[in-house]
């Protein structure tokens, strides 16, 4: 009962450049969470509870090891997160043919008397987009590619779907996998265009969302979530919305890359995307917004679209509409 749990590290898919390593993760107690297909509701409930109730390891020594033998160190913060944001030359030589750079994260084990899972070896990957990429794609998750119900009253459907449905029972929005695969291939029909997924969901749900993405064969890409705030959280609230901040980080990281933004009409995607497009003229090739069939929200989005003309923007009912538009604009074959 009083035995201390083993430790683990969650590594999140990162993104960087040939000379800039940028990745994060989290030091946690090991709750032995596993997401398996066809598991019972009770196990799903138990897994979600364990993820949301996760116990972080603060002030932990964290070591990054690259395949060339070089290593770097940092310290986890009070929420258990670690961040590597360092200049390292010729990283492209360590990446595979798809642009993914493998690395290993470990605890500085001499700081701990507790057991560390997986022999203290936690693999991670960081994406280095190809110079031949035609554009990048930044996509929302909730109600854009995953049915969640963010527009429902008090967001009750979001809660119910997340807690009571295993990842393999969750439905992707119709046709979006097909559309995303076409965008990944682009006009040149080569799978080089990088994907980045942004959501207001907490990092606690990273493994759950990763399992959903893999099961439904979405193009692989970093999943950029946010810290789980509680009513008792005393840390300052971010000055700008999470999605906006993440997109701006990507625009800064890749100044020579233009992007397609994909979201839905349920929350503030249109407001954020249009603001970014206006502030960064020429960088946003198109904006696609999936209609969540909420009459009041749809009217507001249509008014926003009518007042914006900096780049193509489309409110779509089906993925076929988006595919046809992308083809006409030369984004896909």
Which tens digits make up the pLDDT trace of 271-291? 999 999 999 999 999 999 998
Q: Which of 6-15, 145-154, 164-173 has the lowest mean pLDDT?
A: 145-154
Assign 216 to helix, strand or coil: coil
| Structural contact between residues 286 and 311, judged by C-beta atoms closer than 8 angstroms | yes
| Structural contact between residues 258 and 284, judged by C-beta atoms closer than 8 angstroms | yes
Task: Specify the pLDDT at position 133.
Answer: 98
Q: What per-residue string of b and e applies to 86-114 under the rule 16 or more CB within 10 Å gives b?
A: eebeebeebbeeebbbebbbbbeeeeeee
pLDDT, tens digit (0-9, with 9 covering 90-100), for 34-71 = 766 766 666 666 766 666 667 899 999 999 999 999 99
Tokens of 300: 């507001």
pTM above 0.85, yes or no: yes
pLDDT, tens digit (0-9, with 9 covering 90-100), for 179-208 = 999 999 999 999 999 999 999 888 988 988
Specify the DSSP class assigned to residue 240: S
Task: Specify the pLDDT at position 48.
Answer: 66
Name the residue with higher pLDDT: 178 or 41.
178
pLDDT, tens digit (0-9, with 9 covering 90-100), for 138-156 = 999 988 998 775 444 434 4
Average pLDDT for 12-29: 97
Closest CA to 198 of 157, 249, 151: 249
Average pLDDT for 91-119: 91
Task: Specify the pLDDT at position 295.
Answer: 72
Tokens of 275: 């603001």
Task: Specify the pLDDT at position 35.
Answer: 67
Specify the DSSP class assigned to residue 119: G
Torsion of the alpha carbons at 283, 193, 273 and 16, rounded to the nearest 10: -80
Name the residue with higher pLDDT: 10 or 149.
10
The burial of 210, by beta-carbon neighbours within 10 Å (0-12 exposed, 13-18 middle, 19 or more buried), is given as middle
Task: Specify the pLDDT at position 162.
Answer: 57
Distance from C-alpha of 318 to C-alpha of 175, rounded to nearest angstrom: 8
Average pLDDT for 18-28: 97
Distance from C-alpha of 267 to C-alpha of 325, rounded to nearest angstrom: 23
pLDDT of 300 strictly over 90:
no
Instruction: Compute how many other C-beta atoms are within 10 angstroms of the C-beta atom of residue 80.
Output: 21
| Structural contact between residues 143 and 290, judged by C-beta atoms closer than 8 angstroms | yes
pLDDT band at 307 (very low <50, low <70, confident <90, very high): confident
How does the average pLDDT of the chain come out, rounded?
A: 87
pLDDT of 325 strictly over 90:
yes
Distance from C-alpha of 316 to C-alpha of 329, rounded to nearest angstrom: 15
Task: Specify the pLDDT at position 44.
Answer: 67
CA angle (10, 85, 19) in 5-degree steps: 120
Task: Specify the pLDDT at position 152.
Answer: 42
**Pairing label, strands 61-66, 100-107:** antiparallel
How crowded is the C-beta side of 83, counted as CA atoms within 13 Å? 4
Q: How distant is the alpha carbon of residue 226 from its chain centre?
A: 9
Task: Specify the pLDDT at position 292.
Answer: 80
pLDDT of 178 strictly over 80:
yes
Q: What per-residue string of b and e applies to 313-329 under the rule 16 or more CB within 10 Å gives b?
A: bbbbeebebbbebbeee
Radius of gyration of the chain (CA): 20
């Amino acid at each position: 009962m009083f035995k201390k749990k083993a430790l683990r590290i969650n590594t999140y898919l990162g993104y960087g450049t040939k000379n800039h390593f940028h990745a994060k993760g989290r030091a946690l107690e090991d709750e032995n969470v596993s997401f398996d297909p066809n598991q019972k509701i009770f196990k799903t409930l138990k897994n979600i509870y364990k993820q949301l109730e996760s116990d972080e390891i603060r002030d932990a020594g964290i070591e990054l090891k690259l395949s060339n033998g070089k290593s770097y160190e940092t310290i986890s913060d009070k929420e258990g997160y670690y961040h590597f944001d360092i200049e390292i030359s010729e990283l492209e030589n360590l990446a595979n043919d798809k642009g993914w750079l493998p690395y290993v994260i470990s605890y500085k084990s001499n700081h701990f008397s507790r057991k560390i899972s997986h022999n203290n070896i936690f693999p991670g990957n960081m994406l280095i987009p190809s110079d031949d990429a035609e554009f990048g794609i930044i996509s929302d998750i909730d109600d854009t590619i995953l049915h969640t119900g963010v527009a429902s009253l008090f967001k009750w459907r979001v809660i119910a779907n997340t807690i009571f449905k295993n990842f393999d029972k969750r439905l992707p929005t119709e046709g979006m996998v097909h559309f995303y695969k076409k965008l990944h291939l682009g006009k040149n029909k080569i799978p080089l265009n990088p994907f980045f997924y942004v959501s207001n969901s907490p990092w606690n749900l990273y493994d759950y969302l990763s399992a959903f993405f893999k099961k439904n064969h979405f193009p692989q890409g970093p999943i950029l979530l946010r810290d789980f705030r509680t009513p008792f959280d005393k840390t300052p609230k971010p000055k700008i919305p999470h999605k906006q901040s993440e997109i701006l980080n990507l625009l800064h990281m890749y100044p020579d890359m233009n992007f397609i933004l994909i979201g839905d009409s349920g929350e503030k995607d249109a407001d954020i995307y249009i603001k970014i497009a206006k502030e960064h003229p020429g960088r946003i090739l198109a904006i696609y917004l999936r209609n969540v069939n909420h009459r009041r929200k749809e009217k507001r989005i249509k008014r926003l679209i009518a007042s914006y003309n900096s780049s193509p923007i489309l409110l779509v009912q089906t993925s076929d509409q988006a595919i046809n538009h992308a083809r006409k604009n030369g984004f896909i074959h």
